[in-house]
A = this chain, B = another copy of it.
Amino acid sequence: MARIAFQLKLREGAAEAYDAAHCTVWPEMLALLARSGIREYSIFRRDQLLFLYMHVVDFEQAWSKIEHDPVNQRWQAEMAQFFEPVTELRPGERFPMMQEVFYMP
């Protein structure tokens, strides 16, 4: 399993509603994530900044599967209102990915 992290930003004033939505993630969305091989998935927030961390064998493969699933499409349609547009993607990126520069088991 690889350790994967990326960052996202919330719109000003969206934090409370974003947190509330993530207390009650739909069971079918959790099932899709689990079925796609996502484990140990945490989302951390400070003010508008989100840090998303997970374990997965192949992130690109897993997220391609998630992205095309109608459950995720409905979920993302509800979440879209909370996010700042992502402006600094690099070629080939679907999210602003972070590089692991240190790891200690």
* A→B interface (CB under 8 Å): 3, 5, 7, 18-19, 22-23, 25, 30, 33-34, 38-46, 49, 51, 53, 96-105
Min CB distance, A34 to chain B, in Å? 7
A98 touches B5 (CB 8 A): no
Copies in the complex: 2
The CA-CA distance from A38 to B42 in the complex, in Å, is 18
A5 touches B101 (CB 8 A): no
The CA-CA distance from A22 to B7 in the complex, in Å, is 21
B102 touches A41 (CB 8 A): yes
Partner of A102, one of B25, B99, B100: B25
Closest B residue to A51 using CB positions: B51
